[in-house]
Structure 1
Amino acid sequence: MKLGIATRLTLWMAVLGCGAAGLTGYYAWDASCRLERQSAHSELLTSTQVLARRITLNLESIERNLQVIARLPVTRQLLEHDRPDDADRLAVLFAGVLDANPSYLQLRVIAADRHGLERVRVDRVGSVPQRVSGDDLEEKGHFPYVADALPLQDGAFYLSRISINHETSAGTGPGLPMLQMAIPVREHVGPALGVVVVNVDLNGLFRLLAADLPEDYQLYLANGAGDILIHPDASRAFAFDRGQRALLQDEFAQVAPLLSGDRTSAVIDAPEAERPAQIAAFVAQNIDSPANGDRLVLGLSEVESVALAQSTAMGWALLRIVGGTSLVALLGALLLGRALTRPLNAMAASARGFADGHEMKDLPLRRADELGSLARSLYELQAQVRRQLGELRHKQDELAHLSQHDSLTGLANRRLFMDRLEQALAQARRHGHRVFLLFIDLDDFKIINDRHGHSAGDEVLRVLAQRLQAQVRELDTVARLGGDEFVVLLGDAVDSAQASVVAHKLLNALREPVPVAGMALVIDASIGVSNFPEDGQSASELLAHADRAMYAIKALGAGGVGFIGQVMPGDASGDVRSVPAG
């Protein structure tokens, strides 16, 4: 039986209408999946980099705490004379440090003599610091954190291998993942008198660092050999402690270049095997710890179905929309026939254009029939997709900003500062310019935190950061490296005299009283200045020399500005010239 033209046209119109709706839904869903996958990759990698930076900052914070304790006169006096009142004073200090740092399990001062006898020891028992004294103090000279830390140079730190703690002493957290950090205590010359040691609970540390990550993120950590230290499956962590090996590269082959140093980051789409498919991001972090292979690999993963949940939801919504529009197209084909050919083709073309990234145009939105309903549904779908894409881009921008700026002051962080310094050095080498770097450290800033609280200290840092930013040009870069340390990169060709004027202008601005809670707090600062090419050829050399100049000025005890000259071998302070104001 031959079908009439109306029937055939109706059938073709029905096919075309359903096809247009289906193509619209498919292309919109496919575009949403691809964009959401890209966003998930970027968000995971950025979160991993931010977490890695937090780990570095936390280790630096621990180093600074140990350094402060090691340089206290009472610490040296205790190791030299073993007076009970000195031990009591340190015990009170240790208890306060443990209260302020929930991941610290134990703080100790251990003598170099008497087989490494503990002189002061405070353990965390539950959540309460508890001092250990008398016959309960033990000899620890045979442990690596004593034997390997004593020969270190002044200012150098010992970082133990991250492993399960097998010390059975009360309060040291037996059976917990642990790392020890130690620093030698010595006079200006001569052998070390002893060491200051802190035991850090690895799980507690990472709980604090990852507290604001999404709950569905899973955390991975491996040492430089790939041994798994933290894993969503706890049975795979620290397998070497049980005489086995569980390697991260066996589970994610793409992390092998991170372990070898060929790459610093990797984003992985792990297919479904023994567990649901995942999206993972890994970052290699260099550390000064031969026991850990001088490297840690940190990773975050998310179940793919969770990461792409919005695309799944959109797929179901699109499926419903496609079903509805197909019915409308079929009814319209039965009723209107040839009159529907042109608007249906127009809508199909518009849908294909939207899938290619163009805005939907020429939709019959004002029609009161089914075609109008279809057009409005497509228009609403377009608005929903664009809104979701806008939200994803906004989240990406926020994460990118957080990865490059200090969260307290809003200044550039170390990562962004080092990028700009490298660019400035490249320009200077090309054009024969000089580059000046100012390293600023606030003097006795810890006193403000101790006397007025950390909120007052944070307010002081914010005010001083604003003053520094206000005193420089737009082409200069002001950054906060952490704590009370700031750096300024002079972004144009200047000479030593101009750099000195800028440094003293910054110093005078910092010395102005800071109003905080009805008080006027006065801060002094020490500024070290280095320049390319006289003081170094690389960013790390310039930063190190400016840091040395700053510490040399700080050693004079009154704040000020100093330029570093030639650093003599074995002399940590270098040849520093103190430059008067004006």
Structure 2
Amino acid sequence: MKQRFGIAWRMGVSLALIGVIASGLTGYWGYGESRKLLRSAAEERLLTATRVLGRQLTVGLGGAAQDVRLIAAHPGTRQLLVSQDAAAVARGQETLAQLFKSMLGTHPEYYQMRLISARQHGLELVRVDRSDGPLLRIEGDDLQEKGHYPYVADTLRLPEGAVYVSRAEINHEVGAHAGLDKPSLQVATPIHGSKGQVLGLIVVNIDLNGLFSQLAADLPSDLSLFLSNGEGDFLIHPDPRQAFAFDRGQRSRVQDSFHGVSELLSDAHERKAQLVTTTAHASAQNELVAAFVRQPLAGLHSEDDFILGLAQPLSAVLADSAHLGRVNLRIVLAFSALAVLIAVVLARALSRPLEQIVEAIRHFGQGQVVGRLPLHRNDEIGMLAHSIDEMQHQIRGQFANLAQKQEALDRLAGHDTLTGLPNRRLFFDRLHQALARAKRNHTHLALLYIDLDNFKDINDTLGHAAGDAVLCAVGQRLSQLVREADTVARLGGDEFIVLLDGAEDERAIELVMQRVREALAKPVHYQRTELQCDGSVGMSRYPDDATEVGDLIAAADHAMYTAKAAGRQRIRISAQAVDADAGGGDAGV
């Protein structure tokens, strides 16, 4: 009996029991740690995606601010407000209405643009509405007085160049056509006369749902988008009944559903990103992982901030943990079987490799690199080591997939989804850097502002697929014409812009402009059809035409419109365009 139940047998049994218990606990602990890692990664991904979406919101409203500033700075707008000539006023109204229609055509989130006078109780002078059919220009007695609306009075009190952004509300203005009873924002800027007097304002009404539909178009389908005002009232919610409840005399607030968001509503935390893990409603069955940020509108005179959030079901976050659980179960079973079979006769021999495997698993659970595994063995211990190594590679692959998604979100924030070119935000960043470098080094740079002439006709006759093919072809051709140091970007619609950094050689600039005109003149092959879509090009240079970003772009834009007005398919240099406007001559290249 003593020989049968000796120390070796007892040690073998003890090691077998310890191995089984240790493998079970290690597997359970590793499975729990894997779920924590997946949850932590999901929280970071949601927070990053929410911040990116917030930056895109700021960029979108910044683009609207640039549009109203651009129209307000147009010489014809101010002339329309001060002119006493009825014929000149009529021509100015027609020109401005066409400009409004052009912008409404390229910005589906805009549903109304207006020029409102500071006199006559805020009478509308030019107004274009989006409707169920074609764009509508409102004229004559249908133009309304808007002086009693807060957005008119508040905008007229702003200094020149400032932009006002209203609170998000349901639009109840009579005669708003497509915008009636829709969630909307007003973005407006005042127009001042030569002596500083307030003449009127330009205002664009933005469809809030349309704006966010564009921003969130590429988000995964299992993510839910939440938007509230600075007081916590829901503006966008997966359940439409919760959105704008205050407009119906009810309250539905983000802090009531996501309690951790309350900190974002205080002034002390207005710029803090708050991560929240909670349930969306008291009756919800699935727990949500949610991230919220407070997004102030820097540089704009906004009546309110936005609380922006993304949420994902915890069940979706942990879906991959089921596979990890099966891997852990196989590891536990293999480890237990191995311990029972060989513990009695190989207790001492197995002590070293078993300790090695346990140590490796411990490092893995702590997020460290898995230590050296006995992968060279051809027995059960080797199988166990290969299973652990397989689990390691699978989890690394999942984290690599998360990293790729993060990279895609970062690229989405800075590039146009159709052409792959830098978008407005990334282009402005590069232009600011190039301008600062030019000022520091006393060098030059040039901007080419390009607008396609026949693009609307192609869209109207052949459809948006043909228009998309033209935009992609133009973007590719322009990219091939410039150096790596230069930037070609799509501003939106059929507008492109080219930054020529370090443009010192006048002949080289002329050669690039000539090549641009030739590239735009070449037809685009689409479904056995050659589409002819020329363009008008305006050029401005630093420091000859302007020394600041906004003035430089405005000069190029003005030159482009001058080229288009001169007959299209032309290139116009800003300084020449100004001289030509003064003298009535043709400065096209």
User: Normalized against structure 1, the TM-score is what?
Assistant: 0.72
Q: State the distance in 2 between where 1:55 and 1:28 align.
A: 41
How has the CA–CA distance of structure 1 residues 171 and 247 changed in structure 2, closer, same or farther, with 3 Å as cutoff?
Answer: same
The residue identity in structure 2 corresponding to 1:42 is: R
| 1:413 to 2:416 alignment | no
Q: How many angstroms does 1:519 deviate by?
A: 2.4
Q: Distance in 1 between matches of 2:9 and 2:35?
A: 38
Q: For 1:314-463, what aligned pairs fall within 5 Å after superposition?
A: 314=323, 316-317=325-326, 319-338=328-347, 339-352=349-362, 354=364, 355-358=367-370, 361-363=373-375, 366-367=378-379, 370-425=380-435, 427-428=437-438, 432-444=441-453, 445-463=455-473
Unaligned runs of 5+ in 1: 82-86
Question: Does residue 300 of structure 1 match 2:309?
Answer: yes
Distance in 2 between the 1:6 and 1:150 partners?
94
The structure 2 residue matched to 1:280, chosen from 286, 291, 294, is 291
Shift of 1:435: 4.4
Q: Once the 2 structures are TM-superposed, how far is the Cα of residue 528 of structure 1 from its aligned partner?
A: 2.0
> Secondary structure at the residue paired with 1:506?
helix
Instruction: Give the Cα separation in 1 of the matches to 2:70 and 2:551.
Output: 22
Equivalence for 1:529: 540
The alpha carbon displacement at 1:402 in A equals: 2.2
SS at the partner of 1:490?
strand
- Quick one: structure 1 residues 450 and 172, their matched pair in 2 at CA, closer, same or farther if it must change by over 3 Å? closer
Question: Alpha carbon RMSD of aligned pairs, Å?
Answer: 5.7
| Residue identity opposite 2:10 in structure 1 | T
1:186, distance to aligned residue in structure 2 (A) = 13
Q: Secondary structure at the match of 2:546?
A: coil
For 1:286, what is the secondary structure of its paired residue? coil
AA aligned to 1:324 is L
Distance (whole Å) between structure 2 residues aligned to residue 380 and residue 426 of structure 1? 51
Kindly state the Cα deviation for residue 49 of structure 1 after the two structures are TM-superposed.
2.2
Equivalent-residue separation in structure 1 for 2:439 and 2:61 (angstroms) = 35
Q: Is the 8 A contact 1:108 1:197 kept in 2?
A: yes
Contact 1:220–1:230 under 8 Å retained in 2: yes
For the pair 1:467 / 2:477, whether they are aligned, the reply is yes
Q: Match for residue 498 of structure 2? A: 488
Structure 1 residues 580 and 348: CA distance shift in structure 2, 3 A:
same
The farther-off stretch of 445-454 and 233-242 is 233-242
Conserved in 1, the CA contact under 8 Å of 2:562 and 2:572?
no
What's the CA shift for 1:283?
Answer: 6.2
Cα contact 1:550–1:561 (8 A) shared by 2: yes
Using a 3 Å threshold, how does the CA distance of structure 1 residues 203 and 60 change in structure 2: closer, same or farther?
A: same
Partner letter of residue 402 of structure 1? L
Select 2:223's aligned residue among 217, 228, 240: 217
1:150-208, CA deviations, whole angstroms, 9 ceiling, x for partnerless residues?
Answer: 9999999875432134457696777653335679999999x999999776553455456
Q: Distance in 2 between matches of 1:422 and 1:182?
A: 25
Match of 1:202 in 2: 208
Q: Does 1:266 align with 2:278?
A: no
The Cα of 1:565 is off from its aligned counterpart by 10
Structure 2 match to 1:7 = 10
- The one-character-per-residue Cα deviations of 1:128-161 (angstroms, maximum 9, x if unpaired) are 9999999999765544566777999999987543
CA deviation profile, 1:475-532 (whole Å, cap 9, x unmatched): 3222222222223233457345544443343333323333344124041221222326
CA distance in 1: counterparts of 2:114 and 2:426, whole angstroms: 37
**Displacement of 1:229:** 2.9
CA distance in 1, matches of 2:141, 2:429: 54
In the alignment, the residues of structure 1 paired with residue 459 and residue 62 of structure 2 have an alpha-carbon distance, to the nearest angstrom, of 20
Aligned partner of 2:40 in structure 1 is 37
Map of 2:49 onto structure 1: 46
Query: In the alignment, which residue of structure 1 is the partner of 2:90?
Result: none
Q: Distance in 2 between matches of 1:18 and 1:33?
A: 22
Give 1:309 shift: 1.4
Aligned ranges 1:481-520 → 2 under 5 Å: 481-492=491-502, 494-517=504-527, 518-520=529-531
Distance 1:148 1:360, change over 3 A: same
Paired residue type of 1:362: P
What is the CA distance between 1:19 and its match in structure 2? Answer: 2.7
Distance 1:155 1:521, change over 3 A: farther
Aligned match of 1:84: none
Shift of 1:235: 4.6
How far residue 117 of structure 1 moved from its aligned partner, in angstroms, is 8.1
The change in CA–CA distance for 1:463 and 1:124 in structure 2 (over 3 A counts) is closer
AA aligned opposite 1:49: V
Are the structure 2 counterparts of residues 479 and 379 from structure 1 closer, same or farther at C-alpha, using a change threshold of 3 Å?
same
CA contact (8 A) 2:538 2:573 kept: yes
Give the CA deviation at 1:40.
4.6
Counterpart CA distance in 1 for 2:203 and 2:41 is 44
With the length of structure 2 as denominator, give the TM-score of the two structures.
0.71
Distance 2:470 2:131 in 1: 32
Aligned pairs (5 A) from 1:226-265: 228-231=234-237, 235=242, 237=244, 239=246, 242=249, 252-253=261-262, 255=264, 263=271
The answer to which of 394-403 and 114-123 deviates more is 114-123
Q: Does the 8 Å CA contact 1:222/1:298 hold for their aligned counterparts?
A: yes
Give the superposition deviation at 1:471. 0.9
Unaligned runs of 5+ in 2: 88-92
Work out the CA distance in 2 between the residues paired with 1:561 and 1:94.
23
Deviation at residue 381 of structure 1 after TM alignment: 1.9
Counterpart amino acid of 1:515?
H
Which amino acid counterpart does residue 436 of structure 1 have in structure 2? L
Partner of 1:487, secondary structure, is strand
SS in 2 for 1:381: helix
Q: Give me the whole-angstrom Cα distance separating, in 1, the residues matched to 2:139 and 2:317.
A: 56
CA contact (8 A) 1:41 1:267 kept: no
- Per-residue displacement from partner, 1:105-136 (whole Å, max 9, x unpaired)? 778898986985899897858x9999999999
Separation in 2 of the partners of 1:490 and 1:170?
Answer: 43
Q: Could you tell me which amino acid in structure 2 is paired with residue 214 of structure 1?
A: P
Aligned counterparts of 1:563 and 1:152: Cα–Cα separation in 2: 30
The separation in 2 between residues aligned to 1:267 and 1:574, in whole angstroms, is: 56
- When residues 512 and 300 of structure 1 are mapped into structure 2, their CA distance, relative to the original with a 3 A threshold, is same
Q: Would the aligned equivalents of 2:261 and 2:276 in 1 still touch at CA under 8 Å?
A: no
Instruction: Single out whichever of 280-289 and 133-142 deviates more from structure 2.
Output: 133-142
Q: Which one is further off, 198-207 or 386-395?
A: 198-207
Partners of 1:227 and 1:240 within 8 A in 2: no
Partner Cα distance (1:421, 1:363) in 2: 54
Distance 1:170 1:177, change over 3 A: closer
Cα distance, 1:61–1:174 mapped onto 2, change above 3 Å: closer
Whole-angstrom distance in 1 between the partners of 2:139 and 2:515: 52
Given the superposition, is the C-alpha separation of residues 451 and 561 from structure 1 closer, same or farther in structure 2, using an over 3 Å criterion? same
